[in-house]
Structure 1
Amino acid sequence: MTPPLPTSAPDRATRPRTGVGFAADLAQHGGRPALVAGHEVVSYDDLADRVARARARLGSAQRLVGLVPAPTIEFVVAYLAALAGGHAVLLSHDEVLARAYGASTTWADGGFTATGRPDPVLHPDLRLLLSTSGSTGSPKLVRLSRSNIESNAGAIASYLGLTADDRAITTLPLDYCYGLSVLHSHLAVGASLVLTDLSVAESALWDLARATGVTSFAGVPFTFDLLDTAGWPALPTLRQVTQAGGRLAPDRVAAVAERGRREGWDLIVMYGQTEATARMAYLPPDLTDAHPGAIGVAIPGGALHLEPVDGAVGHAAGVGELVYTGPNVMMGYAHGTADLARGAELTELRTGDLARQNDAGLFEVVGRSSRFAKLFGKRIDLDRVENLLTLDDHEVACAESADATRLVVALAGEADRFAIDEAAATAVAATGLPEHAVAVVPVAAVPRLPNGKVDQAAVSRLEAPRADVRALSPVDALTAVYAAVLGRHRVTADDTFTGLGGDSLSYVELSLRLESRLGRLPSDWPDRTIGDLAASAAGARRSRWVRLDTGILLRAAAIVMIVGSHTNLFVLAGGAHVLLAVAGANFARFHLAGAERSERRRNLTRSIARIAVPTALWVAAVLLISGQYGWRNVLLLNDAIGRRTWHEPEWHFWFIEVLVYLLVGAGALTTVARVAAWERRSPYWFAVGLVVAGLVPRFWATASGYDGDLIHSSLFVAWLFAGGWAATRARHAGHRLLLSALLVAGLVGFCDDPVREATIALGLLALVWLPYVPFPRALIGVVGQVAGASLYVYLTHWQVYPHFEHRLPVAGLLASLLVGIAVWRLVDHVSDRGRVLGRRHWHGLGASHPQLDTPSKETR
């Protein structure tokens, strides 16, 4: 027999608590089937035995159990065992979330396993933690009690008329409150559930449903879109279909209900939120014809009422915010581990939906009072979408369309195709919605109410134009992109990225924007003219995958590693050293190619200034406010004249100091005529020679027992910068093998940490062997933001993450990334505005200066 897990603090074991009823009382349904998975049918007696054994493994002390949901018998057994034993379950695919909240137990290889983390203090009533719909990745969770779960399961079973003869099939995820409620309500009455991960668009799902005698299935609006496309199934045993997870347009409700009447089943429209465990209202099926736009009446045991709201929409007759009361209202939100000990804090739930009650006493939702939309089962934070679009220099307003089928983005300003496409791509990436569900509508100005607030109702009614938008030619569109990213006013079809002074900071943003517009970019695109790129991309097909530059991916991954390790979320050191190699590669690509020597020198000086000046200003500001740093940090001289061993906080900016020194040194070296000629004649062997030269002091320090800091000093890490340089010059496998051997040899014993050395080695080898990696197009926007802001994330995170380090490290990571991205965009915006004002000043004096010719936001 497997011994129980180690017990927690004794006082937790004695705190009174009760298991969830339907999980603890499975045996009362005897030999009836409970679960069907493949060819296996598990009876309630068998399920009760399996749950009892798993429950014994958990022990008597209340635990926080982290479970990854899956439509399998094993998962259901683990989940029910935790509920039956009175434990709290954190249900999520996000394992970082479980670690952040301190889950002490998880399920693996058919049994519960201790994670090694002590249980947080848990309230004895707490049973379930779920993400709110659409908030995956957010640390905010909904806290649900035993009575929340039991009451909602019973209410759903009651108004659906479920009996032991019913059988549902898993058409929705089990960490989604709607999908989970199907499991709860069926187990509560001794009904059965068919477990499968097949899609409703697959005929195999409906073959399985017919073979197992399924009587019901659940769907969100997108489910019905898929069925309309793939074909509705013929299910002789089907009794009812339930719909929730977003508003289904009234005409669709009527059409689906009519289909049900023809085929002998009922459509039950439902309304709910995770904060109410699952369901708050339902529309009796005999009322769908007369009231297809209604959500219906409150579920048994609950009540709905309207409360007045401010604003123009609140003056509409009978409209108010929909408020629900009932035993299924959540205990409250959890923003961190301390909240898990809190008891029930709510007696009613303000839904954030605007509604009215019609003459038949049925409630109808007419809009949102809060800044969220509910589309395709996703909860869309409209403020977040607007903020991301604003970062792309667009003035916008977002709303859910009047028919609840699309996200409407009102785009103010000139209606060119480039701006519309860019805004649509950003909105799709930010929300996860399909492209057809985002309508970008150009408007002269964002619609506003007399009080200056955005007129949400007017935005929701906007329709995207079909053919009246002025389209840019492919070349004009690309020159606009180059001008916007590089801050140049005069860009022509004959210009190239390198010729325009592009550097590693602008490379990230420009390459990702070009990838989204043109599809796959050629590896030599920085040296190709804009006209050539536009011509070669004509007719290119946009796939779901792109070729992402390995350097960009490494930049994003490395900065996440750095900040995540500092916040104590995980320990994965070595990211900064990989970034040095990436910097060396970018120096070789962008500052040793094209243009005259004097122009290259100006471009490199500009790039160094873009790193050194913001750093000096930020450090000086922190020094003045908190006195945390010294004058050597402000002048980036700590590595040159400071102490030679690591001391915090003076060594916080070692990476930026080293990077500036190496860029200055590399630039000075390649301005020597003979050196530059050697580099042009033998680019690979020149770079390899730099690697070997850089390894000399590195191995001297090890051999001589040097007691200073080895891995954070420019003299001893310069070979990594040279290694990235050499990676761009390798032309065949022999070159790459020799370079790989040198780099790996340099890392052996370099950090006195094999894991750190292996991490750096993986990054270096990826840079040497993989110029591009396949990457999902939908995630490009996120990677681009993180990679583009990596300098500012590194710069500012020292002042951000300490506020979260010991309480919620995942919040420390997210906050550091968001602050860095915001500062990056702010600096970009301020510098652009400064150049525009400067250009206007010079033009006003009758002068023109080519360095001040940059585009205004209007021309972007």
Structure 2
Amino acid sequence: MRLIGDGARIIDATSGQTLAGERLTAAVLREAESLAALPQGVLFARTSIDVPSVLRYLAAFEGGRALALLDPALETGALVAMMDRFRPGAVLAAPEEEPPLGYVAKDGHWVRTDSVGVRPHPDLALLMATSGSTGKPHFARLSRGAVLSNAHAIAEVLGIGPDDVAPTSLPPHYSYGLSVLNSHLAAGAAVVVEPSGILGREFWTAVSEHGCTSLAAVPYHYEMLRRLKFDPAEHPRLRTLTQAGGRLRAELVAEFDAKMRAAHGGLYVMYGQTEAAPRMATMPADRLAEKPGSVGPALPGGEFSIRHGDGSETTHPKITGEIVYRGPNVMMGYAEDAAGLALGDELDGVLDTGDLGYLDEEGFLFVTGRLKRIGKVFGNRVSLDDLEQAARATELGIEIVAAVPADDKVVLFAEGIAKDVCKQASRALGERLHLHASGFDVRPIEEIPLLASGKVDYQTLAGLV
């Protein structure tokens, strides 16, 4: 299997130029030669939504250099702390600041002055930060085989072909955004690199001008698209919407499913984790209405089981427990420091997802919650995800809300909601869960903070409690 399939194209929306065929191959090879000359060790790449970042990623993958994709918005102090732990051979597209001790600035990068570093395991291709909104970053170690198998499996279930065109609606340092890039290039399709994001006017201009056929988005984006009265009929070639990155509320699934059906397209609800390179399941668009709430069956080559509290596993329907996934796209394990980069496969294709759910009679998965997204209200355990859904169901106009634990209560931040409505929401949640309203501190916030991926930045919200 190859990552860059025959006919693959990279279109720079800013310049209008296209890299394809021999031009694309030559550009990747030139970059790979530059990366090969850097000191031994993993390479850190501050990865923006631009063509140079995409080429660096492809060059490292094809050239056998283990690469960690980083958010370019990562504060320099946090970046230097990660460098201390992992001792990268270089930081590509480094900040325009003085490099830390042991590194020199060269050609826009920070290059380690010591040529001796930890040699990554030969199977290791990609490192993706997984802690995101929850704390100290560590990396999921993804092999070349895991990335390739997932890219081709996604292309298969979505029916991606050479005439398909996908815009960069999500950043490539985020696993969902990277999977869009990988699956389209592997299928010999096109990717339009446009940096302004799904809410930018230039983005939609590029979608129309380049005839984009699909769009990937997380739940927050769908909330915004609803407010903007998105109509797929305005983009005649747009036939596929995909959703991952968290649970999309049922009303929006039904709404966008209906919109896409009316436009002779489809909405594909997906489920995955960075640790699975990253997709594990896709709900067929033509069965979405038939099985509301399902994320579909496992991707080709993968399978799900449900783990009981006693450690046993089952595939019997309607039994809820921790979701366990098996497949060729499962990571090799985590890396906490440079020594971890040299480790081999520690998981043998088995991923304990930390999510709760069940399977139906056909093996379609229903995700019901998260083991770790739990708070306590007066000693009672409550699912924070379910609490967010309950707040939206109060019929008080709450649409965008995020819940974080706080001692013996839960704080819910509601975007664009007045203080008096927040008080009503606290009472409504108390009545629904049969607990005193003071255990549900609903607060107004002008705008929910987001990570670059579009997911809620729960860590920042926790700091506001």
Matched residue type, 2:299:
I
1:116 equivalent among 108, 113, 116: 113
Contact kept, 8 Å, 1:143 with 1:331, in 2: the verdict is yes
Distance 1:110 1:257, change over 3 A: farther
Contact kept, 8 Å, 1:439 with 1:463, in 2: the verdict is no
The answer for the alignment partner of 1:336 in structure 2 is 337
Contact kept, 8 Å, 1:55 with 1:81, in 2: the verdict is yes
> What is the rounded CA distance, in whole Å, between the counterparts of 1:139 and 1:780 in structure 2?
17
> What is the rounded CA distance, in whole Å, between the counterparts of 1:298 and 1:206 in structure 2?
32
The answer for the alignment partner of 1:148 in structure 2 is 146
Contact kept, 8 Å, 1:164 with 1:191, in 2: the verdict is yes
2:10 equivalent among 27, 34, 59: 34
Matched residue type, 1:399:
S
Deviates more, 1:195-204 or 1:340-349: 195-204
The answer for the alignment partner of 1:361 in structure 2 is 363
> What is the rounded CA distance, in whole Å, between the counterparts of 1:442 and 1:320 in structure 2?
30
Map 1:215-614 to 2 at 5 A: 215-233=213-231, 234-309=234-309, 318-347=319-348, 348-368=350-370, 370-372=371-373, 382=374, 399-402=383-386, 405=389, 407=402, 424=411, 462=433
**TM-score, length of structure 2 as denominator length:** 0.77
Distance 1:355 1:136, change over 3 A: closer
1:21 aligns with 2:5: no
Map 1:640-651 to 2 at 5 A: none
Contact kept, 8 Å, 2:41 with 2:87, in 1: the verdict is no
> What is the rounded CA distance, in whole Å, between the counterparts of 1:104 and 1:308 in structure 2?
44
- The structure richer in strand per residue is 2
1:206 equivalent among 182, 204, 214: 204
Distance 1:44 1:106, change over 3 A: farther
Distance 1:464 1:196, change over 3 A: farther
1:49 equivalent among 26, 46, 58: 26
Aligned residues: 407
Shift of 1:112: 5.9
Matched residue type, 1:300:
P
> What is the rounded CA distance, in whole Å, between the counterparts of 1:132 and 1:21 in structure 2?
25
Shift of 1:40: 2.2
> What is the rounded CA distance, in whole Å, between the counterparts of 2:208 and 2:305 in structure 1?
41
Shift of 1:231: 2.3
The answer for the alignment partner of 1:727 in structure 2 is none
The answer for the alignment partner of 1:179 in structure 2 is 177
Distance 1:251 1:135, change over 3 A: closer
Shift of 1:99: 4.5
The answer for the alignment partner of 1:105 in structure 2 is 90
Contact kept, 8 Å, 2:131 with 2:137, in 1: the verdict is no
1:73 equivalent among 48, 51, 54: 51
Distance 1:206 1:409, change over 3 A: closer
Shift of 1:137: 5.5
> What is the rounded CA distance, in whole Å, between the counterparts of 2:141 and 2:407 in structure 1?
41
Shift of 1:35: 2.6
Larger Rg belongs to: 1
> What is the rounded CA distance, in whole Å, between the counterparts of 1:318 and 1:780 in structure 2?
34
1:128 aligns with 2:126: yes
Matched residue type, 1:78:
R
1:162 equivalent among 142, 160, 163: 160
Q: Render the CA deviation track for 1:518-540: whole Å, top value 9, x for unaligned.
A: xxxxxxxxxxxxxxxxxxxxxxx
Distance 1:40 1:281, change over 3 A: same
The answer for the alignment partner of 1:85 in structure 2 is 63
Matched residue type, 2:303:
A
Matched residue type, 2:35:
L
Secondary structure at the aligned position of 1:76 is classed as: helix
Shift of 1:353: 1.8
Contact kept, 8 Å, 1:302 with 1:326, in 2: the verdict is yes
Matched residue type, 1:37:
A
Q: Render the CA deviation track for 1:526-566: whole Å, top value 9, x for unaligned.
A: xxxxxxxxxxxxxxx9978xxxxxxxxxxxxxxxxxxxxxx
Distance 1:779 1:276, change over 3 A: closer
Shift of 1:403: 7.4
Shift of 1:320: 2.5
Shift of 1:81: 1.0
Contact kept, 8 Å, 1:281 with 1:298, in 2: the verdict is yes
Secondary structure at the aligned position of 2:209 is classed as: helix
Which stretches in structure 2 are left out of the alignment for 5+ residues? 94-105, 390-400, 448-458
> What is the rounded CA distance, in whole Å, between the counterparts of 2:416 and 2:113 in structure 1?
44
Matched residue type, 1:50:
A
> What is the rounded CA distance, in whole Å, between the counterparts of 1:295 and 1:411 in structure 2?
31
- The structure richer in helix per residue is 1
> What is the rounded CA distance, in whole Å, between the counterparts of 1:222 and 1:339 in structure 2?
34
Contact kept, 8 Å, 2:388 with 2:403, in 1: the verdict is no
> What is the rounded CA distance, in whole Å, between the counterparts of 1:81 and 1:111 in structure 2?
17
Matched residue type, 2:53:
F
> What is the rounded CA distance, in whole Å, between the counterparts of 1:185 and 1:282 in structure 2?
14
Secondary structure at the aligned position of 2:54 is classed as: helix
Shift of 1:135: 4.3
Secondary structure at the aligned position of 1:122 is classed as: coil
> What is the rounded CA distance, in whole Å, between the counterparts of 1:265 and 1:325 in structure 2?
31
Matched residue type, 1:213:
G
Shift of 1:199: 3.0
> What is the rounded CA distance, in whole Å, between the counterparts of 1:63 and 1:237 in structure 2?
44
Matched residue type, 2:369:
G
Shift of 1:398: 5.1
Which structure has more RCO (C-alpha within 8 Å, separation ≥ 6)?
A: 2
> What is the rounded CA distance, in whole Å, between the counterparts of 1:364 and 1:248 in structure 2?
13
> What is the rounded CA distance, in whole Å, between the counterparts of 1:241 and 1:324 in structure 2?
25
Shift of 1:186: 0.8
Contact kept, 8 Å, 2:415 with 2:445, in 1: the verdict is no
The answer for the alignment partner of 1:841 in structure 2 is none
Shift of 1:142: 0.6
Secondary structure at the aligned position of 1:53 is classed as: helix
Distance 1:359 1:139, change over 3 A: closer
> What is the rounded CA distance, in whole Å, between the counterparts of 1:336 and 1:343 in structure 2?
14
Secondary structure at the aligned position of 1:304 is classed as: strand
> What is the rounded CA distance, in whole Å, between the counterparts of 2:289 and 2:402 in structure 1?
27
